[in-house]
Structure 1
Amino acid sequence: MADIQAVIFDIGNVLIEWQPERFYDRVIGADRRKAMFADIDLHGINDLVDRGHHFRDTIYAAAEENPEWRDEVRMWHDNWSDMATPTIEHSVRLLRALRVAGVPVFALSNFGIQTFEIAEPVYPFLKEFDRRYISGHMQEVKPGHRIYEMVEEDCGIAPARLLFADDRADNIATAAERGWQTHLFTHPQGWADRLVAEGLLTPEAAQ
């Protein structure tokens, strides 16, 4: 019998690819994108959105503060759906297989309030979690300890019985420090193998 009582998925780069650089490389070219990212900390600005700041207001304010890149910065808002794509299909199958197996499945993601509202109708599986811990609503972000503590308080499951998959080592490190079981996500097959090794899925269900 597995010790795990709930499996927790990050969303970006675990269930949905999140590659803004790839989008900008395609639209404005790699050289121009590199110059813009050197001038403006777009990921840092997006962290404000993940903390609950209003998506459009935050990005458009950054665009006005950087008039030489105004149109390109606005794309972060106006073309967000083109950056948060495509679905990582194998991971979605794993999410659904866990639910079929009766394993509680949670989401823990740095995600803005408005961006999550944009994503939900595009990615129906986002409604399939038993519990969703979205940073914009919680006003705390990974890898800070508080958001993990809030998950523990809400679900009531001992940290050692939570298994968390995330693509960022710093997010995994905090979870491990709190006693969670963790998996650094690099590819869905590795995640599938871990779920089988934990006895949560059969090899057939994890395909």
Structure 2
Amino acid sequence: MSNSEIRHIVFDIGKVLIHYDPNIPFSRIIPDEAERQWFFANVCTHEWNLEQDRGRPWDEAEELLIAEFPDRTDHIRAFRGHWHEMVSHAYDGSVAIFETLIDEGRDVTMLTNFAADTFREARKIFPFLNLPRGVTVSGEIGMIKPDAAIYEKHTRDFALAPAHTLFIDDSIANVQAARAFGWNAVHFTEPEKLKSDLASHGIAA
């Protein structure tokens, strides 16, 4: 049980509220599994994609890779071109909890590592992302989790009391960083565990 009453609930988005998997379109674009794994390990890597979450424009990101892998130009451009397929569905159980908390009048915000333009698309695909009081999007501000600065900015912008804030994220590193900053934080794995974690902080959902 938390020692402090939770007044603010902060949700991550990817792999908490919506699914994300680049393999969905790329299993068709690069059917050979070994080749596809090589492509994600060496070309469109997690680290490369993270820089778009930090705010790097897609055209700059693409040209950087095309200069190094000119024979992979079509595949590199396909990453952004087929992004909408990567966010294939929402997690209904998580979204139900999220919407219940908002309907009950809880102060809910979102803190996400997301490229600015793809987040605008996500809000159209998943209208529930427009329901909370607000959101901090890494790609719009040039900061990413787990950097302490992004937690500080979200806290300041939304007037949160850290000791009364609960953060929900699928990344252990992001959860640990939130705790180090002074927030309460729980690691998301599936909706039933989230319900249990919320209950341990005195919140029924």
Quick check: TM above 0.5?
A: yes
Computed over aligned residues only, the root mean square deviation of the Cα atoms, in angstroms, reads 1.8
The alpha-carbon distance between structure 1 residues 65 and 159, as it changes in their structure 2 partners (threshold 3 A), is: same
Partner of 2:16: 14
Distance in 2 (alpha carbons) for counterparts of 1:3 and 1:72:
49
Q: What amino acid is the match of 1:19?
A: D
State the Cα deviation string for residues 10-63 of structure 1 (Å, max 9, x = none).
Answer: 000001111113442354232111121232252222112111122344235423
Secondary structure of 1:87's counterpart equals coil
Indicate the residue corresponding to 2:164 in structure 1: 161
Residue 82 of structure 1 pairs with residue 85 of structure 2: yes
Quick one: which of 197, 200, 204 aligns to 1:197? 200
Name the amino acid aligned to 1:116.
F
5 Å matches for 1:48-197? 48-197=51-200
Report the secondary structure of 2:145's partner residue.
coil
Alignment of 1:24 onto 2:26: yes
The secondary structure found in structure 2 opposite 1:140 is coil
- Measured in 2, the distance between the counterparts of 1:156 and 1:38 equals 40
TM-fit CA distance, 1:86? 1.2
Q: Deviations over 1:129-154 (max 9, x none)?
A: 11201111111000111000111112
Q: Give the SS at the match of 2:166.
A: strand
Q: Report sequence identity in percent.
A: 32
Structure 1 runs of 4+ aligned residues shifted over 3 Å read: none
Per-residue deviation, 1:88: 0.7
